[in-house]
Structure formats: C-alpha cells, structure tokens
Amino acid sequence: MSNTVLNTLVAPSRYAPRVLPGFGPTLGLTLTYLSLIVLIPLAAMVVFSAGGGWHGFLDAVLRPRVLAAFRVTLLCSLSAAVLCAGIGLLLAWVLVRYRFPGRALADALVDLPFALPTAVAGISLASLYAPNGWAGALLAPFGIQLAFNPLGIVLALTFVGLPFVVRTVQPVLQELEPEQEEAAALLGAPDAQTFLRVILPAIVPALLTGFSLAFARGLGEYGSVIFIAGNKPMVSEIVPLLIVIQLEQFDYAGAAAIGTLMLVVAFLLLLAINRLQHWVRVRHGG
C-alpha cells in the first residue's frame, strides 16, 4: 500500500465532526460566561465605587483602619501561602513516595478543607486554639496564643490553602521519571543535591501554582477567619470583614471602593506570581 493511500486512511478528515462545537460557538459561550459571571459584576463594582469621585474614593481607602486591614490581609495571606508551600510539598512527597497504613485515608483528608464549610473550620480552630481550648491551654504556659490575633489568621488560611499546594505538586511528583534520580545516585550525588538539582526544578512550576492558589484563597477568605482572628481594628481585622462592616453601616460606596482596591491589589500580585511562574517554566524548559 502506498504512503499516499495510507496517509489518507489514517489522517483525520478536515470535515470530521468535532467532540465540542466549533470555534465560533465555543468562543461565544466563553465570552458570555465571563461577561455575566465575572466581568459585568466586577465592572459594576468599579463604576459604583467611582460614584463619589476620585476624592471620595481616596477618602474611603486611605483611612488608617482600611490600610491596617490591607496590611493584615496581605501579610497573613503571604505567610500562610509560604507555609502551605513548605508543608504541602512535604505532604505530597510522603503521599507519593511512601506506602504506609492509612495512606488512602490521609490522601482523602487532604481534600477535607474543600468540602468543609469555612465557618465550621473557623469555629473548630477557634475552639481548639483559644486560651481555654485543648491546644491553646497547652501553648499558654509558653506564652503562645494563636487565637484572636494575626497568628490565628495565618493558621486558618493555612488550613484552607494547604490542599491547593498538595494537589498541584502531587501529580508532578507521580510523573517524575526515576531514571534521573538513579543516574544522579550512580554518579555519587548525595540525596540533598539530587533533590535540589533534579527534583526541585521539575516541581517548582507546580509549587508556584499551588502557592498562588493558596495566596489567592487567603486574600478573599472570610468564614474561617472571623471566628479565630479576634477582629480587632488595626490589629487583626481583615479586608473582607471590613467590607461587610461597611455594608452593615449602609456605606455601599465605601464598601465598593475597598473592594475595588482589593481587586486591583490582588490582580497585580497574582499577575506578578504568574509572570514568575512563566519565567521559571521557560528557564527550566517546561
């Protein structure tokens, strides 16, 4: 059989039906979804926040209490994302590289924060780490208090953000070829050098993805934080709670202004993280 006939039989027809609709309908549905669910609500918030003019917007977002809430939210979210990256990497490593009794249960428990209502998580953490709680009473003699201060916020955000890192790093670890590690071992490389030179470059993009997801989740988290934070103005008050307070006081323009600033800050930070992730992938040939 000639190559021309073989290519004709094997190659798909240019008019073969597709599993999904064509480019036009698919693009139309995508833009409609993005407009109705994402773009129009966000644009409405921005327009509403501009109702008081530029000076009104600045007066709403430059108050000391608002700036303090932004500082607490950003620092706690960043700290929790860093903790999630470290703990999540270790947890994913254990789940992939080791076999032990209860491994399937431990793997299932990783997804528990996804299914558990955030308010339930906040109440549980506050009850456990309060000064009169089981864990809080053990830490109190050492002068450590996790609940009702920014440390409690970091704890809650770590709880809800950890699965993002585990579930992004775990598949990459499973797909790593053992030949490279075996070659490094045969060449006499110690375990630490093998990890830093062979394994870590391969998982850094996934680790950055999990870090950015955990960081984004922390920026907008509300339910699991308000019960353990203490909600002290200028100390442990987060931006989402401050927006709710503004709404309860019928200051809709002020709430929209704070939300708009939070949107801009979150977008710029996530854009910077995505650019860093792209640079890492390009450098390591991913």
Q: Which element (helix H / strand E) includes 273? A: helix 252-283
Reply yes or no on whether the pLDDT at 125 is more than 50: yes
Reply yes or no on whether the pLDDT at 38 is more than 50: yes
153 contacts 78 by C-beta, under 8 angstroms: no
Q: What is the CATH number of domain 53-283?
A: 1.10.3720.10
Amino acid identity at 99: R
Point out the least confidently predicted range of 168-177, 183-192, 253-262: 183-192
- Residue 25 has a pLDDT of 78
**pLDDT for 182-204, tens place per residue?**
777 777 777 777 777 778 888 88
Reply yes or no on whether the pLDDT at 1 is more than 50: no
DSSP per-residue codes, 219-250: HH--HHHHHHH---TTTT--HHHHHHHHHHTT
CA distance linking residue 132 with residue 258, whole number of Å: 35
CA within 13 Å, CB half, 155: 24
Does residue 284 or residue 278 have the better pLDDT?
A: 278
Point out the least confidently predicted range of 32-46, 69-83, 114-128, 129-143: 32-46
Which whole number is the average pLDDT over 221-247?
90
Reply yes or no on whether the pLDDT at 205 is more than 70: yes
Q: How many CB atoms lie within 10 A of CB 190?
A: 10
DSSP per-residue codes, 54-117: HHHHHHHHSSHHHHHHHHHHHHHHHHHHHHHHHHHHHHHHHHHH---TTHHHHHHHTTHHHHS-
Does residue 13 or residue 203 have the better pLDDT?
A: 203
Which whole number is the average pLDDT over 222-246?
90
CA distance linking residue 158 with residue 163, whole number of Å: 9
- Residue 286 has a pLDDT of 53
Q: What are the C-alpha distances in Å from 23 to residues 19, 36, 248?
A: 12, 20, 45
- Residue 21 has a pLDDT of 62
Which whole number is the average pLDDT over 231-249?
90
pLDDT-derived band of residue 17, with 50, 70 and 90 as boundaries?
low
pLDDT-derived band of residue 137, with 50, 70 and 90 as boundaries?
confident
Instruction: Using a pLDDT cut of 90, give the percent of the chain over it.
Output: 27
- List the Cα angle 250/256/257 in 5-degree steps: 115
pLDDT-derived band of residue 274, with 50, 70 and 90 as boundaries?
confident
CA distance linking residue 30 with residue 68, whole number of Å: 38
The mean pLDDT of the chain is 83
**pLDDT for 148-164, tens place per residue?**
889 999 999 999 999 99
**Cα-Cα end-to-end distance for the chain:** 40
B/e letters for 79-92, b = 16+ CB within 10 Å, e = fewer, are: bbbebbbeebbebb
Which whole number is the average pLDDT over 115-130?
89
**pLDDT for 58-93, tens place per residue?**
888 889 999 999 999 999 999 999 999 999 999 999
Point out the least confidently predicted range of 11-20, 22-31, 180-189, 207-216: 11-20
If you count DSSP H runs as helices and E runs as strands, how many of each does the chain have, helices first?
16, 0
- Residue 88 has a pLDDT of 94
Reply yes or no on whether the pLDDT at 130 is more than 80: yes
